[in-house]
Structure 1
Amino acid sequence: MSCFGSRSSFLLELEFLIQKHFVVVTYQLEPEFEVTARVYLVPYDLSNVKGSLRKRPTTVLNPARRYLKTLIPMLSLNPVHWNFGCTDEAMRPFHEPPIQCTLAQIYSNLPSPNPQLTGPSTGTIPKLLDFSFDIEETLGLRSRLYQYQRETVARLIQREGGKASIPDPLYVPIKSVTGTIFFFQPGTYEVLQERPMVVPTTGGILCEELGTGKTIMILALILATRHELSTPEESITDVRPILTSTALRYFPSAPYDQIRQRCGRDRHALNDDDPAIRVPSLVELLIHVSRTSPQPATRYNEALESAGLNKLIRATVPFYHHYLGDPTAYERARRDQSRPAPRTIYLTSATLVVVPSNLIAQWYREIHKHCQVELRVLQMRTNSTFPPVKSLASDYDIVLMTYERFTAEERYKNVNKLHTSRTCKCEIFPHTQARIPDCRCEDLPVSPLLQIRWKRLVIDEGHVSSSLNTLLTPFVKLLSIQSKWIVTGTPTTNLLGLSFGSSSIKEQNDDTDDEWRPSNSQAMVRPAEGSICWTKTDRLDLQKFGAMLTHFIGTQQFLSNTNLYKACVIDALMDPDGPRPTAVQVINQLMTSFMVRHRISDIETEITLPPLRTDNILLDLEPIAAKSYNAMQASIVVNAIDSQRTDQDYLFHPRNAASLQLAVANLSQIMFWGTSEDRYNVFELSQNAEQQEQRAIERGSSPQDIQLLREALSHVKAAVVDQTWIASQAHPEIPFQVLDMPEDIFDAWTDIRPASEDQPRAKLMHPLHLTKLKQALLSRPLAPIDWLVEMGHQLHNTEIRDSEKSKKPPGNGIPNRSLQTAAPPVLLRQSPLSRTKIGCSASSKLNYIINEVLQYSPTEKFLIFSQSPLTLAHVKDALDLVHVPYVQFTTQVNVRTREEQVVTFETSETHRVFLMELRHGARGLNLISASRVIFCEPVWQADIESQAIKRVHRIGQTKPVHVKTLVIRDSAEEYMIDRRAKLKGQTSKIPKMLEEQGMRYFIMHPKFISTPPSLLTSITFPFLKFTDELFDVPVDSVTDNAPSTSAESDGRTPLDTPVEKRRRLKFVV
């Protein structure tokens, strides 16, 4: 220990440590009353003390740990200090690199798998690591494995087969001044002479980066071990030989005789007519061995079939007996009375794969895509019924289930019903060479999943396994599983596998000076000098990781002591003074032990993804949409000034968090297209404008607030006098400009009817009416104008009648013929609407999307994301108008249909656009047929945006990927993009948008859009399609962000499909 001055409290602590045998100290007095001490840390496993150092009470251990925390940073390994000299060089015994890394950085820098060929291992591993060897032919793969994938598969096989004890990752080696190696645990401050050894867990977390092929890795693992039977669960006190029904009934050897005696299954208990127990025939032995030690039998299938042995082999299902507990002395003394019956657990080579419902079809396709060998796959969906338990154990290689179907089995979890003395008395197969029972016993009323010892469990998108509040993990703990694998690119909230392909990203540089300091609303632990802050978010990630290891994977050392992980890992890292010495090394060792992943640099030496370009597209709001935006902003301004920004009336009061969240969602919807039944209170605000201003003046509001209020009320008045805007608020759809349509027909069909005839009418019509008009025209392509006018009046009358009666969406009013039954082009060209065109919509974002789709969809496919189903419904209506086929992946579409739509999009050349809610786009799906991605609004969480992009930018993608985010200029969206860029480099987790200081300030201080729009996109396309070619549509495209002319447009229309109910917010004014 280096030189230190007199500190009475420290010396008292040191005295305690000496008295309680934590340290031994010798010292030397130095001039000027200084002391240099030699400190000998006493190992807990010191010999010849009868283990007394391990038995100290907590009243001693707790203060000792606090004192050691003070002492250890003062220690030095410098020989000069040890020999009582003085020098400034400390040479700390717990030296490690400066702790300037976050948990996410530790995760990103985990070493790549490096499986070694030491010790016994399956013959597949050397072949996997011999990169010149054709492993695909051996495994039965159709797709070729990359080298890093082969390394991962080899590592998975090694982990599953590992039985030899391994060094405990909770301890870190340290070196004494004499060079002796000791082992230190930073959470408990234990020092040991010998490192503890632990039994390895045959499973872990496969967390390769998103888009690097985790599915094919799992399939390669299954193929490599598909002939390997699961082994009985280990028992310290019980021998568990593998049995078959024939062996249990008839084999005469001692082990089987003992089992029969223990479970009361002698030959008389089974069947009085059974043949005498005797040496089994060769056929019986071969069948027994073939099922208890299965081998590939492809070459012999025909011979077995011709000999009639296949059905006997299939009927012979291996199993073992599992007892509730070993017989006690009392039970042995009363052998004549009933003894606890065993639970029969069947062995299998099958893998149980549990996936989200939207991925089950994709998994099934991936199996057939990658596997040359025909794997036996059982799909279990919501209403699927399990086959008999013996068939489930014997007849499948993969049991593929959804989360919902898997957890539904929790209702049948009473395993006590499996401990039954019921014996099988079924007759043996007649006319055969072996005594194989033809068992037809009914299954017990317990989930078949609980009656099988599974080879492995794979849970895709397995980050959900960290939660104990769902049925998933508790039910998994009831199952008997040899190996458990969590497959996910994002193990916890902030451990994100989103870097693969990052070297190919070309970003638009939108950096601007930041007027607000980034803030972190999370509570942080106080960092020690030279270390970083570890936040509550880090603690949550550590807890999730611990829950996976303890409760899902079932790590034995954590299961046996549920407080061990917290004491040894979390407490050491989350110390108020920063991570303790070697604590980072412990979590690194633990993550390396359980996580299988390659560093990005190692993957990208072998494979590089196509370029990825991301752009933020600045757009202005169309004038009619700007009025809605300003009207809502005015409501927020009036609310703030009228409430004086205090008390519960203020929208931003903490108790109004839900209302604020809804208001922000409405504001975001307006920037695509949104409406309000009460017109954002503009009539009420306009009527009370003078009183509002007078009240603000009387209350002494600041000149800035008075000016802001006047500006807000001026925008309110502008909305009130705009009859077209008012009429547009009556329907939820986005209106389109109509060009060259005969006036009579337009007047009959439009539903945007200003109350005053003094104002010029904008020629706008909603998609629903345009669609109905087109249907009418296709039914009678040569219909006169009068008939079309009459059909328009009928539609309006029907809408009014339906609205008054039931408030339901408007009816058709005309025959509802499919647009697919198109009239011949020669007839359509003679129609009065043959020259009619559709122009810009009232949404600048929708105009940009349609322009992009029409320009690029002939050669590329699109993936369009939005957080709002209503926004996607607007895009859908526009795609219908321009005749571009699409598929939808939203909450309004049932799960099975969503699965089918993924297949349709990936395999069809017809469907060019995939509409997806952002909540569905974050995980799992593979949509590499698309190469263009559009986000209808900015995404605050960069990780969610990146995961959505990973649906297309992943292995298998061959085209450059273009990602565009639509942003309204001078709005909260543009500011959000700037704020997110500024917060991108910070080490702590980015807070929620409304908790981030800069964003919250911007929303609290509304800004109005007053400048004329210039960043708009002009589109024009024919109302009717005259050719059979899909994309024969003229497009007047405009380059990104370039000013263009735009029609004055306003309005919106009802949808002919279910849409999200309009969201409204009423303010107290």
Structure 2
Amino acid sequence: MTLPHSSTFPHHVAAGCLHVSRVDSGLSDEQWYQLPEQWNPFFRSDQELNRSIDASGVHHIELAETLHKCPHFPPELQELLLKLALAPFAKLFRHHWIELEFTRSQDDADVNALIRVYLLPDDKDRSLINRSNKTLRRHWNSLLSKLDFSASAWKGKSNGDRSFQPALMQPPDKDGAESSLLQLFNTIPSPKPNPEYLLDSNDRDYCRSLLNCDIPGLKTQLFLYQREAAASMFQRETQPLQCIDPRLCYVVDQHEDPWFFDCITGEVLKDGRSYEGVSGGILAEEMGSGKTLICLALIAATRQQPAYRPEIYTAPAIIRPKLGSLADMAAAAGSMASVPWRSYFSREQCGDQEYTNCLGKIDQNPGWYLMPRPAPKRVSRQPAAPEQSDKLYLSCASLVIVPTNLLEQWKDEITKHTPYLRTLVLTKARVPTPIPNALSLLQYDIILVSMSRFERLIENRIKDRHGSWVLLSPLGQVHFKRIIIDEGHALGHSTLAKKSNLLLVVEHLQTSARWVVTGTPSKGLYGVDGSCTGRNELSDDQERKDTEHIGSIATHYLNARPWANKVLEDGDTTADWRIYVMQTKNNNEVQNHRRHSILKSTLNSLIIRHPKSELSRLLPKITERTVYIDGSYQDIMSLNLFAAHIILNSVQSQRVDQDYFFHPKQRKYLDELVSNERQASFFGGNFFTASDIQKAVLTAEEFLQKGDVVISKEDDCLIREAIAFGKTAEANKIREVSSRCFEVPIYVEEFPGKEYTGVLSSWAVDGKEGDRMCTISPLVVVLQRYVRPWLSSPESLEIVFNSGKFASYGAKARNKAMGGVPEIIQCGEAPSSIAFTEKDDKVYKDVSKQKKARSGTLEWADVNDTFEKDEEIAEPLAKFSLVSTASAKLSYLIDQITKYKDAEKILVFYETENVGWSIAGCLEILHIPHLIYAKNLKAERRAQYVATFNETSKFRVMLMDLKQAAFGLNMNSASRIYFVNPVLNPQVEAQAIGRARRIGQSKDVTVETLVLRGTLEELVVERKKKMTQEEHRRIKSIMDDKPFYEWFQNARILPLPDVAADDGPGQMAPLAVPVPLFGRGSGQIIHPDQDLLAKGERHSSDRECAVPCSDTGGIGSSFGRKRPLSMVTDAAADDAADREPKKPAKGVRFA
């Protein structure tokens, strides 16, 4: 007779079966055939647990009534099985952890038998049975690993398919189980907040105000998705959801009854276990979607709501020295209970009338509580008095920590959207102002802190006498309503053993909610349109890193349970994210499902974001195109020098040994060579000197004459072609000029005073006279400054020209530019027998000394500047124009910038500083105001540039290092973007475009990528279309990609344009329209700070006046460069160079 499960073991889980063969059982044949062929429960010599409780509350242990009626397994055979085949699990049976039933197999009774195993869940009968025995727990886990969970085995058939994992409650979605982390991130459901779920009436009102955008003090109308995101943030702060322990898999037993199973620890639960969700999370809306505005809306909507006192801490009774007034006692009682009193008495609620007395009483009676100090880590024989509890004040303020370069942007956003928020700004200054005391901090709505200043608080950590760390800062005496870390994805790099200073300081602060604001929580997580294609898939290594970063943020910063469980906490177990989530996929369906389930539930519970498809319609239209440009004669010559460099090395080294560029030991030198060649696609005339080329050619010719090495016909043709080209390059005068002065040669026409003897030959860098003259931008700057006093006086100019002073001054300036001996710094050892020796890859460092600038006012005018704005420019100067440059890309950029600068603002992204300064040099002589967002600028200076570029109309062009296109930068005033070189990684390119293509952009965005035809850049464009994200993550440099590696190995010399060797203008890239070089701003000496927005300044014409932020730090006296000053300057110009970074060396790779 087989009893139904509900009557046999109603409190157990019908898990699975153990297979026992006749051989393994240890029974004789006679004993084997005495075994029953129907299910019989094992007999207990002790008594079965009876869970009835009498009136006295005592549990009775009696024989269960149903078991008396059930046929039992023969006791003597049972004991033999428990001693032999079931020996490892006998203790589990005797201690009531399991129940057993036995039968011989229905399809192979002569050989096999089956034992049903019923598991007692860990959350049942804990008062009767001790489940903490470690030895029994090891046997328990061993038993689970051997169970056959198949239905056929449970029915008594031993030859069916076996299953070593329990059946899931819901069969896994095969497509879903294979979803990558990137796919899970992009399929996070859009937030749908519902105020009716909130229990508190005030919380419901705040949530409705966010959803309806009815927020006092918010001047900007929010989009629907922004309202949903802000309301969801508030809902998660005030009433986090209850989440089932993600470690548990929801499975069913053999009778379709559900139970929960942790396949790592072997824990079996009948009712499951839940945790309260995180108060906070990750706001991960798309780039440019207004995450800052969402946070400000949340802060503004709840600015009157104080933080709630944690339930574990009690507020002691307030003891007053004398009887308090009714107003004081009422205010104190409300503050201690976190009642939003201010909202009832504020001007927003009461119209024009404001109850200042009531508000004053609320300020005088803030809420607070006492938080005990941590218990001593070591017990001392001499008992000491306990540490005094810390007093923490309940605040309405939000603590916002932002990267230093985004601090000004946050201040600007606060002024623009929520000017009435009381804001305290703490930034890293040369002499930081002390943080106000705790009571003063309660008066603010936002405490805005730069990340560098916040991290310095680590210096204020000390250990108390019990060995616990204590933060000595007013910030540690306030319980903030929330903490928001902008661009906080760096928190993912912290581990339990190595926490960042940022995280260590955060751990000392008391906050009700914690938020991370970032569009990309980890490097490989970003928004994609629609379903993920193969090109968007991440490598296993990158996905593992991203998973680890998400787990680190959840564990160490957000304190998400169970991942943040501590070892010393009672009633729960620790959970290691690496064990549960980061194990590689295998054939274990339950483990794979658990891993997928944990990732999905974690992302959904922590991250707030809308799919990119929902936001695309709100983003400005973007037009992207690749512009293919034919290189100039000088461009092709520069690139061919690199090809000749590789060819001569390959042939002479016979592509073997360490002398070969592509030998593994020469990888560093090869990477330098590749980087320089990529730079040469813009301009590379400064990489090889004539003497270097001559020496390489002679070495190659000597190699051919000796004939010691037999080479193939193909190599013979290659080396002879390289030699012939080397001779051509060596004799080229324009290339010689660029290699001597480290500048891009340009051609001008209608040079002032050209009709006077010696003028052209004095100013021309090649010494030639003609209708068009070859020069460089620093010399044009010198010229503009020299003649500025006579811009509107043709008579005075004629005197200067005729006197010979103009020609003499030009000769001196030219000789200074061309004749200065640069300091030589070796860039690393090159192979001894390569065609171009170590000197080929010199780094030239400009050692011209720069004098310090004057400090003082922002406007610094030239004392000799007598030119009036309403005067006409003298005719000899008005016709002076730029007609061409040696770089085809530079000429194209000049055409584009001059064409669109009046109607649109422009971003130009470059990859090396030499390129940036070359572009800036031409913009300077064309008197086009511009800014350079370079990596050598301090963060405060970069933030000042961004604010100036966005808020003023003067600066039309921003030159930006591609590596500095940082997360979070908002430059939506620009609508045209140019990439000087094609960007291989599409995510880097998207980050750069995201600086301008943002919600709120009023114009369509145009993006152009410049590609030099017939060069490596064409391969970059082609590979970018085909490479997957896995390939992008795998390669550290382009030489790690086989097609690029082979392209360099098979370098070939390109045919030069059909231009005569002495035709200088013909070797240039002409401008579409000549650009005048004299205007009202030409030659004016400008202070580095002129026209920049000062700290805290905003243009009233562009933005309404607002309550200024309180700033306890400053930008200080660190200056960066808006425009490059020439390396050839007069004394006054040298004085303007104070506090500016040196102009980078020409011909060097900047990492």
| Same fold flag (TM > 0.5) | yes
Report if aligned partners of 2:489, 2:516 keep a CA contact under 8 Å in 1: yes
Deviation, structure 1 residue 197? 1.2
Query: CA 1:816 to 1:712, structure 2 compared with 1: closer, same or farther past 3 Å?
Result: farther
Please name the residue that 1:436 is paired with: none
1:494-893 matched pairs, under 5 angstroms: 494-497=524-527, 499=529, 535-561=540-566, 564-573=575-584, 580-604=592-616, 607-674=617-684, 675-676=686-687, 678=689, 681-693=692-704, 698-741=708-751, 742=754, 744=757, 747-750=760-763, 752-753=765-766, 763-781=773-791, 782=794, 783-784=797-798, 785=801, 786-796=804-814, 808-809=847-848, 822=867, 828-831=873-876, 833-893=877-937
Query: CA 1:955 to 1:38, structure 2 compared with 1: closer, same or farther past 3 Å?
Result: farther
Deviation, structure 1 residue 729? 0.5
Aligned partner of residue 956 in structure 1, secondary structure: coil
Aligned partner of residue 447 in structure 2, secondary structure: strand
Query: How far apart, in 1, do the equivalents of 2:23 and 2:581 lie?
Result: 28
Report if aligned partners of 1:731, 1:1054 keep a CA contact under 8 Å in 2: no
Please name the residue that 1:491 is paired with: 521
Deviation, structure 1 residue 186? 5.4
Does residue 217 of the first structure (1) align with residue 294 of the second (2)? yes
Q: Give the residue type in structure 2 aligned to 1:598.
A: H
Q: Looking at CA atoms only, which structure, 1 or 2, has the larger radius of gyration?
A: 2
Q: Give the residue type in structure 1 aligned to 2:315.
A: P
Query: How far apart, in 2, do the equivalents of 1:1015 and 1:984 lie?
Result: 38
Report if aligned partners of 1:350, 1:398 keep a CA contact under 8 Å in 2: yes
Q: Deviations over 1:340-360 (max 9, x none)?
A: 222233332211111111111
Aligned partner of residue 458 in structure 1, secondary structure: strand
Q: Give the residue type in structure 2 aligned to 1:401.
A: V
Aligned partner of residue 1048 in structure 2, secondary structure: helix
Query: How far apart, in 2, do the equivalents of 1:807 and 1:592 lie?
Result: 55
Does residue 1023 of the first structure (1) align with residue 1076 of the second (2)? yes
Query: CA 1:494 to 1:398, structure 2 compared with 1: closer, same or farther past 3 Å?
Result: same
Aligned partner of residue 513 in structure 2, secondary structure: strand
Aligned partner of residue 1060 in structure 1, secondary structure: coil
Query: How far apart, in 1, do the equivalents of 2:493 and 2:813 lie?
Result: 53
Deviation, structure 1 residue 497? 3.4
Which among 421, 425, 428 is matched to residue 374 of structure 1?
421
Deviation, structure 1 residue 569? 3.0
Which among 471, 486, 502 is matched to residue 460 of structure 1?
486
Deviation, structure 1 residue 772? 1.4
Query: CA 1:374 to 1:328, structure 2 compared with 1: closer, same or farther past 3 Å?
Result: closer
Q: Give the residue type in structure 1 aligned to 2:186.
A: S
Does residue 157 of the first structure (1) align with residue 201 of the second (2)? no
Does residue 941 of the first structure (1) align with residue 985 of the second (2)? yes
Query: How far apart, in 2, do the equivalents of 1:601 and 1:802 lie?
Result: 58
Query: CA 1:344 to 1:1027, structure 2 compared with 1: closer, same or farther past 3 Å?
Result: closer
Q: Which runs of 5+ in 1 are unaligned?
A: 251-274, 421-443, 504-517, 521-531, 1030-1051
Deviation, structure 1 residue 777? 2.2
Deviation, structure 1 residue 693? 3.9
* TM-score for the superposition, normalised by structure 1: 0.78
Aligned partner of residue 997 in structure 2, secondary structure: coil
Q: Deviations over 1:18-52 (max 9, x none)?
A: 77789979784548999998986847526347353
Query: CA 1:996 to 1:67, structure 2 compared with 1: closer, same or farther past 3 Å?
Result: farther
Query: How far apart, in 2, do the equivalents of 1:540 and 1:677 lie?
Result: 42
Query: How far apart, in 2, do the equivalents of 1:1002 and 1:873 lie?
Result: 29
Aligned partner of residue 576 in structure 2, secondary structure: helix
Q: Deviations over 1:643-666 (max 9, x none)?
A: 444444443344444333322221
Aligned partner of residue 686 in structure 1, secondary structure: helix
Deviation, structure 1 residue 775? 1.9
Please name the residue that 2:838 is paired with: none
Please name the residue that 2:945 is paired with: 901
Please name the residue that 1:143 is paired with: 220
Query: CA 1:987 to 1:627, structure 2 compared with 1: closer, same or farther past 3 Å?
Result: closer
Query: How far apart, in 2, do the equivalents of 1:620 and 1:680 lie?
Result: 29
Please name the residue that 2:53 is paired with: none
Query: How far apart, in 2, do the equivalents of 1:67 and 1:991 lie?
Result: 44
Does residue 361 of the first structure (1) align with residue 440 of the second (2)? no
Query: CA 1:128 to 1:446, structure 2 compared with 1: closer, same or farther past 3 Å?
Result: closer
Query: CA 1:585 to 1:313, structure 2 compared with 1: closer, same or farther past 3 Å?
Result: closer
Query: CA 1:848 to 1:315, structure 2 compared with 1: closer, same or farther past 3 Å?
Result: same
1:87-486 matched pairs, under 5 angstroms: 93=168, 94-98=171-175, 99-117=177-195, 119-123=197-201, 126=204, 135-162=212-239, 165-176=242-253, 178-185=255-262, 187-188=264-265, 190-233=267-310, 235=312, 239-241=313-315, 247=318, 249-250=319-320, 275=321, 279-292=323-336, 293-297=338-342, 300=345, 313-325=362-374, 338-371=385-418, 373-382=420-429, 383-414=431-462, 416=464, 446-468=472-494, 470-486=500-516
Query: CA 1:1006 to 1:332, structure 2 compared with 1: closer, same or farther past 3 Å?
Result: closer
Query: CA 1:202 to 1:776, structure 2 compared with 1: closer, same or farther past 3 Å?
Result: same
Deviation, structure 1 residue 310? 6.1
Deviation, structure 1 residue 948? 0.9
Report if aligned partners of 1:619, 1:1015 keep a CA contact under 8 Å in 2: no
Structure 1 vs Structure 2 CA RMSD: 4.8
Q: Give the residue type in structure 2 aligned to 1:487.
A: V
Q: Deviations over 1:890-938 (max 9, x none)?
A: 1243333322222222222232111111122131111112111111112
Report if aligned partners of 2:976, 2:1005 keep a CA contact under 8 Å in 1: yes
Percent identity, aligned pairs only?
A: 23
Query: How far apart, in 1, do the equivalents of 2:231 and 2:626 lie?
Result: 42
Report if aligned partners of 1:344, 1:418 keep a CA contact under 8 Å in 2: no
Deviation, structure 1 residue 223? 1.9
Aligned partner of residue 740 in structure 2, secondary structure: coil
Query: CA 1:614 to 1:280, structure 2 compared with 1: closer, same or farther past 3 Å?
Result: same
Report if aligned partners of 2:207, 2:234 keep a CA contact under 8 Å in 1: no
Q: Give the residue type in structure 2 aligned to 1:922.
A: A
Q: Deviations over 1:137-162 (max 9, x none)?
A: 34432112222222222221122123
Aligned partner of residue 564 in structure 2, secondary structure: helix
Query: How far apart, in 2, do the equivalents of 1:1009 and 1:492 lie?
Result: 43
* TM-score for the superposition, normalised by structure 2: 0.73
Query: CA 1:307 to 1:192, structure 2 compared with 1: closer, same or farther past 3 Å?
Result: closer
Query: CA 1:566 to 1:903, structure 2 compared with 1: closer, same or farther past 3 Å?
Result: closer
Number of matched pairs: 945
Query: CA 1:707 to 1:627, structure 2 compared with 1: closer, same or farther past 3 Å?
Result: same
1:998-1017 matched pairs, under 5 angstroms: 998-1010=1043-1055, 1012=1057
Report if aligned partners of 1:172, 1:586 keep a CA contact under 8 Å in 2: no
Query: How far apart, in 1, do the equivalents of 2:110 and 2:749 lie?
Result: 98
Q: Give the residue type in structure 1 aligned to 2:328.
A: E
Query: CA 1:393 to 1:994, structure 2 compared with 1: closer, same or farther past 3 Å?
Result: same
Report if aligned partners of 2:427, 2:453 keep a CA contact under 8 Å in 1: yes
Q: Deviations over 1:803-829 (max 9, x none)?
A: 5999733899xx995998656686533
Q: Deviations over 1:1006-1039 (max 9, x none)?
A: 233225399966333343446899xxxxxxxxxx
Query: How far apart, in 2, do the equivalents of 1:24 and 1:395 lie?
Result: 68
Q: Deviations over 1:187-228 (max 9, x none)?
A: 556553222112322121111111222111111221232222
Deviation, structure 1 residue 361? 0.9
Query: How far apart, in 1, do the equivalents of 2:1033 and 2:153 lie?
Result: 39
Query: CA 1:307 to 1:545, structure 2 compared with 1: closer, same or farther past 3 Å?
Result: closer
Aligned partner of residue 911 in structure 1, secondary structure: coil
Query: How far apart, in 1, do the equivalents of 2:140 and 2:674 lie?
Result: 53
Q: Which runs of 5+ in 2 are unaligned?
A: 1-14, 27-84, 568-573, 824-844, 852-859, 1059-1066, 1083-1124, 1130-1136
